[in-house]
Structures are given as C-alpha cells and as structure tokens.
Amino acid sequence: MNTPLVDALKNCANNPHATFYVPGHKQGKGISEQLSALFGETVFRYDLPELPEFGGLFPPEGVMKTAQELAAQAFGAEKTWFLANGSTSGVMAAILATCGEGDKIILPRNVHQSAIAALIFSGAIPIFINPIYDLNFDLPYTITVEAVKQTLSQHQDAKAIFIVSPTYQGVCADIPPLATLAHSYNLPLIVDAAHGAHFGFHPQLPVSPLTQGADIVIQSLHKTLGALTQASLLHLQDKRVNPSRLSTALQCLQSSSPSHLLLASLDAAREQVETQGKHLFDYTLDLASRGKAEIEKISDLSLFNPSLPQAGCYDLDATRITINVEQLGLTGFAADEILHNELGVTAELPTAKTLTFVVTFGNTVADIEALITGLTQLRQYQPETSLVPLKLSGLPPLAECISPRKAFFQEKTVLPLADTVGKISAELVCPYPPGIPVLIPGERITIEALNYLQQVFQLGRNITITGCSDVTLKQLQVIAS
C-alpha cells in the first residue's frame, strides 16, 4: 500500500539542505539536550512545516490530498480530512458547519465538552436528550430512535442531530434507523465516533457508522489505532452538509502550522489497519477475551456485559473491558488510584463504580496478566481505607435558559456555591473523567446539579473539575442580574 505523506516526509527530511524555515530547532540541531536525550535525535529531523513537497491542508493539495483520499477509501467515506487538533476540532467543525446562530441541534446529555464549546462558537441552541442509563454500573448508554422521534415532533426546525457512538465503554447506538429518521427531516446525522476508529476492520467488531448512513463521522485514530496522540479524522458522505463550509470551519479551528509528525502518523495508521486489520484485531480480540474470562473468576467484580440489542445499547465493542468494583467497597476512582500508584496497572477511565480498560494490538499477554494480577490484589484493600461509592443514579437533567454563546459574552459575577441555585451558569462545569458537562453556560443551576457535583467531587483525588474558574467548587460564575 502507498503511504504518500510518510514517503514525502522521509524524502524531504533526508535531503541535505540549509534550513532557513521554522521550526527553530532546525531538524534537531538546536534542540534542547534534555529533549534529545529523552526522545533521541532522529524524530526531530522529521518535525517539518508545510513544505512544498507535502502540499497544503486547506485546500488539500499534492501528497496531502492523495493521503486523505486513500483514508477516505479505507474508511468508506466520500471525503476525509486529516485533523492535527484531535477529534475536538472535528466535533466543533461538524457543528459549526451545520448550525448557525439560533439554530437548534439535537444531542445527547452525555456529549463531550467539545460539543458544548461548539455551541458557544456557533450560537446554536442545544436540545438535549437524556440517554438510557444503566443504574447497576452507573453508566450512560446512547439515545434511542424513539426519544429522537419525540424530540423532533416538538422541534421540527432543528438543523442537525448529533450522537455519541461508541461511548467510552464501547456502547453503540442503533445508527441505521437514527440516520433514516434524520434524513426523513432532511437533517444530517453527526456521529462522535472518537473511540470507534477500528470499527469495520474485523467481522467481530461493530460496523462503522459510515456504512450505516451517518453524514459526518469523527474518529480518533490515536485512541484505538496506531496514530500519534491528537491525530484524528473527519469523514463526510452524502450531500446534506456543504463540504466547503465544513472545510472552512476546520480551517478556522485547526492550527495553521500543523505537526507533520501527527499527519504522517495518520497516513501510516491507515495503511497499517487497511493491510493488517484482520490479523491485528484477531490478536486484540483474543487478548480482550482472555482478560474477560479471567476477570469473571474474580469474586466481587462484575464485568460489563449488557444483553444485545437493547434500548440505547445496540452493539458493544469487544475490545473494551469495563468492570464494576462496588462490591469491593471501593469507588472506581479509588481503585484506579491503587492500581496506578501501587500495582502498576493504569486504566483508561474510572467512574463512580467502574473502571474501563482499552485493549488494542499494542497490548501484550503480559499486560493482560498484569491486569488480572492487579485486579485480584485489589481485594486486599479494605473499604475503610478507601471512599465508599455514592449512588449518583445518572446525570441531572439540563435546564438550559439562554444560549451558551449568549451566556459566554454576558457580564458575570461570582457567588458562593450555595447561593447559585436558580441563577444562570456563566461557565462550563465538567468533571474529568469522563469529560461530560454537568453545567453549561446559559443553564439555570438546580439543586440537583449542585448535589451531583458535590458528590462527584467527594469521590476521589483522581477526579478533576474542569472548565470552571474555581476547581474546588466553593464558588461559581453566574450571569449578573
């Protein structure tokens, strides 16, 4: 298979020439000794800007255009863009390209904070739908066709539908009927598939949303494939979204000096999964299966394995391992801290009750053995030395009052947390992990939301409240009366 961008980067870097262009380290000759010792000297030779040999991103030209066309063919899209600013930029561009000031967009309650940022940029009005919730594992699934249908009956002037599929835990939406429903209203279906770049490359994996009728799909190749961190793709198909508007939105949001190390890693990751995908995921699925079989033997741990299909959970990514640690008397956050600091195992995502582990072809049998050993040893940690899980029973419903964009530009004041009930939030309040906003700018603050935040804040030292000015949650910014 051809890797045009990788080949061009290699040829250009190894062609002797005087470098009177940025970056300032000049192919590593001026790099810090600390970085050189840490990374080696070779990588800096390939840290090059947009030289003529590569072609540009906007508009795509030369080998850059060829590399993106190859990616579109491999992933099943009509058009694909390389993203050096992560799936965050792709989510924001998708919303900017489909919604303007005052336009309504239907989206699930458990969107990533990047979607909220897009609402501020675009001026769009969110119409939120609560996803189906698994109370046993305290995890959101996805939104259902019935919920979207009911919402559309009340908001027929919506401009787009946005869904998250898969979730962090690998839960997939029933996309074909959602796409059919969206298209019956002539609306584009946007799918945040950041965690599903590997879908469609093995018969035992869920199929790609691109083959199920989605109009825009955003995928992080660094999450489940072999690209460098921050390297992602945005795919477009059908004619409901103007590609020129989408390209312009991406140009506004992406760096004008993208890292060609990241872009070349997309080219290489595409070639790798296109030529070796079946073999790579035979291995990955076998590792995950071994891990799950051993976990089922450990008492007081429950493996996330919902029956399929069911409302909000049409399919499940078999490469994800999610466990409930509640019976150990530990929160997911406390268990994550023990595993990471004392047992040499690091999860992808802790929640109040669970831990999620991402298995890829980069893992080894030794990794799975370490995971099983670590989980077995968790049982020796007494509940009294850890935090007892709280019953969160799902995210509180949003009470949006004014548009996030309007709230962003309004005059603000700071109040003690207890005095903010009934006020309009002027900032994003987002516990991370998992990065799902509890309060958004423009939302009227409810006692339920504050109680939820205070409970989450007590769950463990590994959780951070992001997006707000006071991460201790003693006070919040609100819209001045």
Instruction: Tell me the CATH number at 444.
Output: 3.90.100.10
Token pair, residue 222, equals: 């660094």
Band (475; pLDDT cuts 50, 70, 90): very high
**Contact 350/332 with Cβ under 8 angstroms?**
yes
Q: How confident is the model over 154-177, as a mean pLDDT?
A: 97
Band (464; pLDDT cuts 50, 70, 90): confident
The rounded distance, in Å, linking the Cα atoms of 28 and 23 is 9
Band (208; pLDDT cuts 50, 70, 90): very high
Q: Does residue 399 register a pLDDT over 80?
A: no
The C-alpha angle 49, 54, 55, rounded to 5 degrees, equals 105
Residue 38, exposed/middle/buried by CB under 10 A (0-12, 13-18, 19+)? Answer: exposed
Q: Does residue 435 register a pLDDT over 70?
A: no
Type of residue found at 56:
G
Band (434; pLDDT cuts 50, 70, 90): low
Q: Does residue 386 register a pLDDT over 50?
A: no
Band (400; pLDDT cuts 50, 70, 90): low
Residue 10, exposed/middle/buried by CB under 10 A (0-12, 13-18, 19+)? Answer: middle
19-78 per-position pLDDT tens digit? 999 999 999 999 999 999 999 999 999 999 999 999 988 889 999 999 999 999 999 999
Q: Which of these three, 273, 292, 326, is where a domain ends?
A: 273
**Among the listed ranges 108-112, 388-392, 427-431, which one has the minimum average pLDDT value?**
388-392
**Contact 178/129 with Cβ under 8 angstroms?**
no
Q: Does residue 388 register a pLDDT over 50?
A: no
Do residues 251 and 166 share a domain? yes
Task: Enter the pTM of the model.
Answer: 0.94
Q: Does residue 149 register a pLDDT over 70?
A: yes
Token pair, residue 407, equals: 């709230």
User: What is the reported pLDDT for 372?
Assistant: 98
Percent of the chain past pLDDT 90, that is, above it, reads 78
DSSP label at 36? Answer: H
Percent of the chain past pLDDT 70, that is, above it, reads 94
**Contact 191/206 with Cβ under 8 angstroms?**
no
Question: Which is it for strands 216-220 and 232-236: parallel, antiparallel or unpaired?
Answer: antiparallel
Which contiguous run of DSSP H or E holds residue 216?
A: strand 216-220
Neighbours of 156 (CB within 10 A): 10
Please report whether residue 235 resides in a domain: yes
192-206 per-position pLDDT tens digit? 999 999 999 999 999
The rounded distance, in Å, linking the Cα atoms of 402 and 405 is 8
Neighbours of 250 (CB within 10 A): 23
Closest CA to 207 of 230, 191, 223: 191
- The number of distinct structural domains making up the chain is 3
Q: Report the length, in residues, of the chain.
A: 481
Tell me the angle at which helices 86-98 and 243-253 cross, rounded to the nearest 10 degrees: 140
CATH number, residue 333: 3.90.1150.10
Do residues 172 and 310 share a domain? no
**Contact 317/206 with Cβ under 8 angstroms?**
yes
Band (384; pLDDT cuts 50, 70, 90): very low
Do residues 177 and 261 share a domain? yes
Q: List Cβ neighbours of 28 (8 Å cut-off, separation of 6 or more).
A: 36, 41, 42, 43, 44, 45, 47
User: What is the reported pLDDT for 287?
Assistant: 98
3-state class of 193 per DSSP?
coil
Strands (E), 274-395: 302-303, 315-316, 320-324, 349-350, 354-358
Q: How confident is the model over 395-407, as a mean pLDDT?
A: 76
The rounded distance, in Å, linking the Cα atoms of 455 and 322 is 22
Band (381; pLDDT cuts 50, 70, 90): confident
The rounded distance, in Å, linking the Cα atoms of 111 and 435 is 8
323-362 per-position pLDDT tens digit? 999 999 888 888 999 999 999 999 999 888 899 999 999 9
Please report whether residue 397 resides in a domain: no
Q: Does residue 243 register a pLDDT over 90?
A: yes
User: What is the reported pLDDT for 76?
Assistant: 97
169-194 per-position pLDDT tens digit? 999 999 999 999 999 999 999 999 99
Do residues 197 and 322 share a domain? no
The rounded distance, in Å, linking the Cα atoms of 308 and 313 is 7
Tell me the angle at which helices 86-98 and 113-122 cross, rounded to the nearest 10 degrees: 40
User: What is the reported pLDDT for 398?
Assistant: 60
User: What is the reported pLDDT for 394?
Assistant: 55
- Please provide the average confidence, as pLDDT, over all residues in the chain: 92
Q: Does residue 119 register a pLDDT over 70?
A: yes
3-state class of 116 per DSSP?
helix
Dihedral angle of Cα 416, 418, 423, 426, to the nearest 10 degrees:
40
Q: Does residue 462 register a pLDDT over 70?
A: no
Do residues 175 and 138 share a domain? yes
Do residues 343 and 285 share a domain? yes
Token pair, residue 408, equals: 């962003």
**Contact 67/5 with Cβ under 8 angstroms?**
yes
Neighbours of 301 (CB within 10 A): 20
Main-chain phi, psi angles of 476, to 5 degrees: -135, 150
The rounded distance, in Å, linking the Cα atoms of 28 and 42 is 8
Q: How confident is the model over 11-24, as a mean pLDDT?
A: 94
Please report whether residue 42 resides in a domain: yes
Please report whether residue 392 resides in a domain: no
Do residues 286 and 267 share a domain? no
Residue with tokens 């995210």: 395
Q: Which of these three, 333, 355, 385, is where a domain ends?
A: 385
Q: How confident is the model over 119-126, as a mean pLDDT?
A: 95
Do residues 331 and 434 share a domain? no
Q: How confident is the model over 65-94, as a mean pLDDT?
A: 97
Q: Cα 400 to chain center, whole Å? A: 23
CATH number, residue 190: 3.40.640.10
User: What is the reported pLDDT for 437?
Assistant: 81
Do residues 50 and 195 share a domain? yes
Q: Does residue 392 register a pLDDT over 60?
A: no
Do residues 144 and 37 share a domain? yes
Q: List Cβ neighbours of 462 (8 Å cut-off, separation of 6 or more).
A: 333, 336, 337, 350
Please report whether residue 221 resides in a domain: yes
Q: For residue 251, what are the domain limits?
A: 4-273
The rounded distance, in Å, linking the Cα atoms of 321 and 355 is 8
Q: How confident is the model over 87-112, as a mean pLDDT?
A: 95
